[in-house]
Amino acid sequence: MLDAALRDALLARLDASRAVLLGALEGLTEHDFAADLGSGQTVAQALAALAETERRENAEVRGERVAAPGTGRPLAPQVVHALAGASYRSRRYLEDVSADASSAKALVDGVVEREASLAERIRNRPPTSPPPVFPMAGR
């Protein structure tokens, strides 16, 4: 079990990191989630990859088998849900009696680094063209 002070500090880092990422997502439309980040990867795909990496690392620190990632085209609600699930598992690990300090620190360091990087990429993404506007039928 982690020392309470270390656990609390790691949980605070996770909370702060997630707040930065969510701040970068604030105000994004569905059209924005489908926008390319300039790397051939959409915002939604980058978020899905972020959630998958955190999910995989959580399984590894627990010694669990790592399931194959999902496939397909991720949608905004799905990736936000996947991120929440991955974050929940990270928090649960930090509160688990079997958590060890070095694994916990490595897990949190990885999450914080990846979330900060992606938040920056989202904020600095190339401008998107406005979504198409279709005329109303009968007008």
> Rounded to an integer, what distance in angstroms lies between the CA atom of residue 34 and that of residue 43?
6
pLDDT in tens, 42-83: 999 999 999 999 999 999 999 998 876 666 778 888 998 999
> Rounded to an integer, what distance in angstroms lies between the CA atom of residue 37 and that of residue 45?
10
Closest CA to 86 of 107, 103, 117, 116: 107
The reported pLDDT for the residue numbered 67 is 75
The reported pLDDT for the residue numbered 1 is 82
Tokens representing residue 6 in the block: 């270390």
Q: How confident is the model at residue 18 (pLDDT cuts 50, 70, 90)?
A: very high
> Is residue 20 exposed (0-12), middle (13-18) or buried (19+ Cβ within 10 Å)?
middle
Q: Which residues contact 44 (CB under 8 A, 6 or more apart)?
A: 33, 34, 73, 74, 75, 76, 79
Tokens representing residue 34 in the block: 């489908």
Residue 54 near residue 86 (C-beta atoms within 8 A):
yes
The reported pLDDT for the residue numbered 65 is 87
The reported pLDDT for the residue numbered 55 is 93
The pTM assigned to this predicted structure is 0.86
pLDDT at 135 over 90: no
pLDDT at 138 over 70: no
Fold of 4-65+73-123: Four Helix Bundle (Hemerythrin (Met), subunit A) (1.20.120)
Residue 34 near residue 43 (C-beta atoms within 8 A):
yes
pLDDT at 92 over 90: yes
